[in-house]
Amino acid sequence: MTITEFKTACETLQQEYQTKISAAQSASEVEDLRVASLGRKGALTDLLKSLKDFSIEDKKTAGPLGNALKAALTAALDEKQSFFATKELNEELNKTEIDLTLPGEPVACGHRHPLSVAQDRMTEILSQLGFEWAEGPWVEDEKHNFDLLNIPLHHPARDAQDTFFVDGKMPLVLRTHTSNVQSRYMEKHKPPLRIMAPGRVFRNDSLDATHSPVFHQIEGLYVDKNVSMADLKSDLTAFMKGLFGDKAEIRFRPSFFPFTEPSVEVDVKCVFCQGKGCNVCKGSGWIEMLGAGVVHPNVLKNCGIDPEQFSGYAFGMGVERLAMMMLNIKDIRTFYENDLRILKQF
């Protein structure tokens, strides 16, 4: 074979295979063409065998021609091969019916329980007023739940009809109020002290729209020199303004609790009708919010604080009650039934 014939053979081979590669209908056809052209017994390999009979001069011309042809055929084969690979992938995607343009599925996202939201709001305001967090046990002895708080033996609260008693060696109860934190805290800490004690309390009540055997209270206690009813009034006013806005107003009504003297019940001007009278405040214009008073000297004495030197105020409020007001919830059971359709609204 002459060098000229070699050149022509290269061009013919290139044309022949370019045409065949273009016409290939599948990936396996492309693979067959690869073997037929570049394989060990392929057309190009065959053609290159003739190189060995060429002079050195001719080899210098023929070698690069052969290499260029091999590179061109490899490129054409690879391109066609990747065309089929992409095509196959697209067909696969179409088969599984994935619509990549669809928006993603929304992720269900939980949120805090309305009671927690309300309690956090209340403790947040109290802490801005300088109250520190305190806690006490749910299962409590009668001493801290009743005795130290000046609640006499014959008091109805000590009756099994009102209180859950726990069987055991010591007379134990489920705490009926967060006031147990008062006695526990004052035993251990000396004034000045200013604490808030949120938590669960238990009463032997049956569940209805306004009562629950388990509910939540927040206790407040402030003991220092010269603490008076005036401090109580100004702090509770600030608290209610924080909760219900600057227009909030409170009033004190005389009341009785064994652990405070004098004792008051605190009402807030109805936030729904601004005191005009509506069905929430039952026409009175005021809503009863909490019990409070000046800490009874006996309570201070019982807990090791000298009532001649120190005085204090205390208050206790129901979290559910305030939360129902804040969120306009009419039935206390809403908080405990965990019906997501309802909870999601808050």
Q: Which residues bind ligand DAH (CB under 6 A)?
A: 177, 179, 219, 257, 259-260, 291-293, 314-316
- How many CB atoms lie under 10 A from the CB of residue 269? 19
CA distance 66 to 33: 18
Residue whose C-alpha is closest to residue 183's, from 215, 157, 146: 146
In 84-156, at which residue ranges do the beta strands (DSSP E only) sit? 132-133, 139-141
Q: Taking the complex as a whole, how short is the minimal distance between the CB of residue 238 and ligand DAH, in angstroms?
A: 18
- CB of 36 or CB of 125, closer to ligand DAH: 125
CA distance 292 to 299: 14
Q: What amino acid is encoded at 276 in this protein?
A: K
Rg of the chain over all Cα atoms, to the nearest angstrom: 44
CA distance 281 to 139: 35
Q: Taking the complex as a whole, how short is the minimal distance between the CB of residue 295 and ligand DAH, in angstroms?
A: 7
Q: Taking the complex as a whole, how short is the minimal distance between the CB of residue 177 and ligand DAH, in angstroms?
A: 3
Q: Taking the complex as a whole, how short is the minimal distance between the CB of residue 99 and ligand DAH, in angstroms?
A: 60
Q: Taking the complex as a whole, how short is the minimal distance between the CB of residue 316 and ligand DAH, in angstroms?
A: 2
Q: Taking the complex as a whole, how short is the minimal distance between the CB of residue 220 and ligand DAH, in angstroms?
A: 7
Residue 265's SS3 state is: strand
CB 250 within 8 A of CB 292: no
CA distance 45 to 70: 9
Backbone angles phi, psi at 72, to 5 degrees: -65, -45
Q: Taking the complex as a whole, how short is the minimal distance between the CB of residue 223 and ligand DAH, in angstroms?
A: 12
Count of residues making up the chain: 346
Enter the tokens of residue 284: 């009175």
To the nearest 5 percent, what fractions of the chain are helix, strand and coil?
A: 45, 20, 35
Q: Taking the complex as a whole, how short is the minimal distance between the CB of residue 346 and ligand DAH, in angstroms?
A: 25
* Minimal CB distance residue for ligand DAH: 316
Residue whose C-alpha is closest to residue 288's, from 345, 221, 346, 240: 240
- CB of 257 or CB of 310, closer to ligand DAH: 257
- CB of 260 or CB of 302, closer to ligand DAH: 260
Q: Taking the complex as a whole, how short is the minimal distance between the CB of residue 182 and ligand DAH, in angstroms?
A: 6
CB 206 within 8 A of CB 280: no
Residue 106 gets which letter from DSSP?
A: P
What's the distance, CA 115 to chain centroid? 14
